[in-house]
């Protein structure tokens, strides 16, 4: 099942990677046993959560079978076990998956490493610039995060993972939990196994470093909808996802850990067991998930949407990099990953406004024109999204106009609208999940001053006072309009592409 080219690829690097992977596998198996061999073990639902689920239309992603690529030198029982595992996983995937994107590209079978559409961009430069980077510790951290996030998904509670996920990731999960609660849905993930954790690309993004990590995992996935049991499903899934982690360059001390400790990484004060949407220490006021202290999970992408497969690849302005460089001179805090995170956050809150039929949910961070567009999209009756996930969020253009910085973000989202029918359960509005593309434009004054609050997390950006969902634009504490572009990126346009 190995293409000859893969078998002949030598490299000590690969062999090292394989053994590190095997090491991670061994540790995880042990941890799984220690945690009761149940959902505490591996991790699995993020894929149903973060983006597409196995049953949710994203389809299984191809398992890279990277371990098979080793030209390893150890020839022990472990090695035989490894080959055996790959064969078993491959057979299972082969028999279950209806679409194998790889078989269309490479009839020979599973791909060698690296995948042809997955350049190992920037890894060497990152390693050179970060000699203290502890790759093995980072891999363990990611595996740990993966496990915890699958548990959080099953429990529909983000308390345990809040410190190390971005605000956009928080909003993606929280909004889905809200929809699932309305539809009385549960999604239990068991027998979760992390098969591979491999950093595959690194980039510099403003003042931040971004690492893309390929994660292969398998799990048992049971979905129950109390309002309509025809939506129930259960089965085994194996998949590959790409998780993006962001960390502020030179600010974060190597060895920092917001994954295990429940204390503030800055002042050491205990953090509340459930911080909710605002990831801020109540004592020293730092944002725990700012990337200043440790790597933070900022995006989850399915393999089918990753790299060259991105449906937005052709829409990115050829001038984008140049424009971003020019904007960064006036806005040193600008980072593409953070803008995409803000766009994700805004999108999910817009979806909440549609389902709750309450434009106040978004009023504080949208312009008058965007509010009018969003209000016009509000359905006339109780419509909920059965499945709602973002496939892709991509900054496609940047410009400076009339002393404002303007960023256009392309979003692809998959969702199925259903109507709540009293006494009868659900009635589908869309016959199946529909993937749609959107453009969301964010604008901020070129001379914007540092943001004191977290507007998207219901804090006034001028005075950091707490604000609720209200149509009243003026902050009740400082009187400044909440959607002022003097402090924060504001949504000025939202439309289907």
- Chain positions contacting Zn ion, by CB under 5 A: 264, 266-267, 269, 281, 283-284, 460, 462-463, 465, 475, 477-478
**Would you tell me the crossing angle of helices 135-155 and 12-34 to the nearest 10 degrees?**
40
Which one, 37 or 263, has the nearer CB to Zn ion?
A: 263
| Nearest C-alpha neighbor of 240 from the set 415, 97, 29 | 97
Least distance from Zn ion to the Cβ atom of residue 350, Å: 23
Location of structure tokens 């502020």: 248
Which one, 271 or 396, has the nearer CB to Zn ion?
A: 271
Which one, 196 or 292, has the nearer CB to Zn ion?
A: 292
> Cβ distance 197 to 27 under 8 Å?
no
Which one, 99 or 478, has the nearer CB to Zn ion?
A: 478
Q: Which residue(s) pair with 296 in the sheet?
A: 246
Q: Which SS3 state, helix, strand or coil, does residue 231 take?
A: helix
Least distance from Zn ion to the Cβ atom of residue 234, Å: 43
Least distance from Zn ion to the Cβ atom of residue 476, Å: 8
| Nearest C-alpha neighbor of 277 from the set 187, 180, 349 | 349
Which one, 124 or 471, has the nearer CB to Zn ion?
A: 471
| Nearest C-alpha neighbor of 471 from the set 371, 346, 341 | 371
Which one, 270 or 447, has the nearer CB to Zn ion?
A: 270
Which one, 138 or 293, has the nearer CB to Zn ion?
A: 293
- How far is the CA of 363 from the CAs of 217, 320, 398, in angstroms? 40, 29, 24
Least distance from Zn ion to the Cβ atom of residue 460, Å: 3
Least distance from Zn ion to the Cβ atom of residue 270, Å: 9
Least distance from Zn ion to the Cβ atom of residue 293, Å: 10
Least distance from Zn ion to the Cβ atom of residue 261, Å: 12
Query: Diameter of the chain by CA atoms?
Result: 70
Which one, 1 or 270, has the nearer CB to Zn ion?
A: 270
Q: Cβ–Cβ contacts within 10 Å for residue 87, how many? A: 13
Location of structure tokens 């502890």: 134
Please list, in sequence order, all residues whose beta carbon lies within 8 angstroms of the beta carbon of residue 56, skipping any fewer than 6 positions away. Answer: 48, 387, 389, 414, 433
Which one, 164 or 177, has the nearer CB to Zn ion?
A: 164
Least distance from Zn ion to the Cβ atom of residue 266, Å: 5
The string of DSSP codes covering 322-377 is HHHHHHHHH-TT--HHHHHHHHHHHHHHHHHHHHHT-THHHHTTB-HHHHHHHHHH
The string of DSSP codes covering 125-159 is HHHHH-TT--HHHHHHHHHHHHHHHHHHHHHT--T
Element of type H or E holding 49: helix 46-50
Which one, 134 or 285, has the nearer CB to Zn ion?
A: 285
User: Measured between alpha carbons, how far is 274 from 163 in angstroms, rounded to an integer?
Assistant: 10
**Would you tell me the crossing angle of helices 336-356 and 167-182 to the nearest 10 degrees?**
20
Least distance from Zn ion to the Cβ atom of residue 282, Å: 8
User: Measured between alpha carbons, how far is 197 from 83 in angstroms, rounded to an integer?
Assistant: 17
Least distance from Zn ion to the Cβ atom of residue 165, Å: 18
Which one, 13 or 267, has the nearer CB to Zn ion?
A: 267
């Amino acid at each position: 099942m190995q293409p000859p080219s893969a078998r002949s690829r030598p490299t000590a690097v690969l062999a090292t990677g394989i053994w590190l992977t095997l090491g991670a596998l061994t540790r995880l198996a042990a941890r799984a046993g220690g945690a009761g061999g149940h959902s505490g073990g591996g991790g699995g639902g993020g894929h149903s959560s973060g983006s597409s689920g196995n049953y949710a239309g994203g389809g299984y992603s191809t398992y890279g079978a990277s371990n098979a690529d080793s030209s390893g030198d150890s020839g022990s029982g472990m090695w035989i076990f490894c080959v055996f595992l790959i064969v078993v996983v491959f057979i299972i995937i082969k028999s279950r998956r209806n679409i194998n994107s790889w078989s269309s590209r490479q009839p020979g079978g599973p791909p060698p490493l690296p995948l042809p559409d997955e350049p190992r961009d920037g890894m060497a430069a990152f390693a050179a610039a970060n000699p203290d980077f502890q790759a093995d510790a980072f891999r363990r951290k990611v595996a740990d995060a993966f496990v915890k996030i699958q548990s959080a998904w099953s429990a529909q509670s983000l308390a345990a993972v809040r410190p190390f996920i971005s605000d956009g990731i928080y909003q993606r999960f929280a909004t889905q939990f809200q929809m699932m609660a309305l539809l009385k849905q549960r999604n239990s993930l068991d027998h979760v196994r992390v098969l591979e954790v491999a950093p595959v690309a690194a980039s510099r993004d403003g003042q931040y470093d971004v690492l893309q990590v390929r994660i292969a995992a398998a799990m048992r996935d049971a979905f129950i909808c109390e309002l309509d049991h025809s939506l129930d499903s259960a089965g085994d899934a194996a998949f590959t996802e790409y998780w993006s982690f962001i960390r502020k360059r030179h600010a974060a001390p190597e060895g920092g850990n917001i994954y295990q400790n429940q204390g503030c990484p800055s002042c050491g004060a205990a953090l509340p067991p459930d911080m909710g949407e605002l990831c801020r220490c109540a004592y020293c006021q730092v944002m725990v998930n700012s990337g200043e202290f440790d790597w933070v999970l900022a995006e989850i992408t399915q393999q089918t949407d990753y790299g060259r497969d991105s449906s937005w690849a052709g829409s990115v302005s050829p001038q984008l990099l140049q424009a971003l460089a020019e904007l960064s001179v006036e806005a040193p805090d600008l980072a593409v990953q953070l803008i995409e995170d803000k766009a994700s956050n805004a999108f999910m809150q817009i979806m909440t406004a549609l389902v709750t039929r309450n434009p106040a949910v978004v009023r504080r961070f949208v312009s008058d024109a965007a509010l009018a567009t969003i209000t016009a999209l509000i359905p006339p009756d109780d419509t909920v999204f059965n499945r709602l996930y973002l496939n892709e969020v991509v900054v496609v253009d940047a410009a400076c106009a009339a002393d404002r910085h303007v960023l256009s973000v392309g979003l692809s989202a998959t969702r199925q609208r259903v109507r709540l029918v009293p006494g009868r359960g659900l009635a589908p509005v869309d016959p199946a999940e529909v993937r749609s593309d959107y453009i969301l434009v964010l604008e901020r004054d070129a001379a914007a001053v540092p943001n004191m609050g977290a507007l998207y997390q219901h804090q006034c950006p001028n005075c950091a006072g707490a604000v609720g969902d209200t149509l009243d634009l003026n902050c009740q504490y400082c009187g400044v309009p909440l959607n002022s572009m003097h402090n924060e990126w504001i949504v000025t346009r939202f439309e289907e592409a």
